[in-house]
Homo-oligomer: A and B are copies of this chain.
Amino acid sequence: MEELKYHYKYPHPAVTTDCVIFGFDGVRINVLLIQRGVEPYKDAWAFPGGFLKMDETAEEGARRELEEETGLKNVDVEQFYTFSTVDRDPRERVITIAHYALVRMADVRGGDDAANARWFPYNEIPRLAFDHDRILRKAVSVLKERICFKPIGFELLPEVFTMSELQNLYEAILEVKFDRRNFYNKIRKSGLLIEAGKRPANTPLRVPVKYCFNPEKYAELKHKGFKLEF
């Protein structure tokens, strides 16, 4: 029988955190899910997350659960919405503080605890547990807004990358197409990128130029804002 050790004068909801983790494979946006091992929604896919401890903030809890369930460490998670629909969990009243983060997909491979963690391309997401589909939709809409005013990519792309990869990333998130030449011009002018190493003199033209982010400019634009057309 259950031991009910914690007593309050008024009823308290349970509080959880959830993490929507976005990755990019060069073509598509992916989302990291874990398969639930217990009821309710046993075997369904869900975001990493769990009950908040009494001595940790929401962000700390989100990072702890993320590491426990996927092996991902030191991820900058950012809170984006708190879901409080009364019956969103069949067990009891549960409020969840939802976070998102952008990570390099390679960083999650090798996670040992990640046995039942898997990346899903954004348009192949399976049916999710609880109200996690709603959480995902909100996360995507917040991400889309954010990307229009802050530079993005540093956390999602490998150290060095091509202009096309960066453009693919923007196009994948915003679900639009940009003119390749205008995209080049705009990014160049922003000063956000620097060429990563010199192309050897005899590099075939077909091999694209590799870039990396200019960290100072990146930080500056993240702070000041950065306009991208939509």
A→B interface (CB under 8 Å):
2-15, 51-52, 54-59, 79, 81-82, 84-86, 93, 95, 97, 145, 149, 225, 227, 230
A100 to chain B, nearest CB (A): 14
A230–B224 Cα gap in the complex (Å)?
A: 10
Number of identical protomers: 2
Is the Cβ of A8 less than 8 Å from the Cβ of B3? no
Is the Cβ of B5 less than 8 Å from the Cβ of A9? yes
Is the Cβ of B10 less than 8 Å from the Cβ of A7? no
27 residue pairs bridging A and B, Cβ less than 8 Å apart? A3-B9, A4-B7, A4-B8, A4-B9, A5-B9, A6-B7, A6-B8, A6-B11, A6-B12, A7-B7, A8-B8, A8-B14, A11-B54, A12-B12, A12-B15, A15-B15, A15-B95, A52-B95, A58-B82, A58-B84, A59-B84, A79-B81, A82-B82, A82-B97, A84-B97, A149-B149, A225-B230
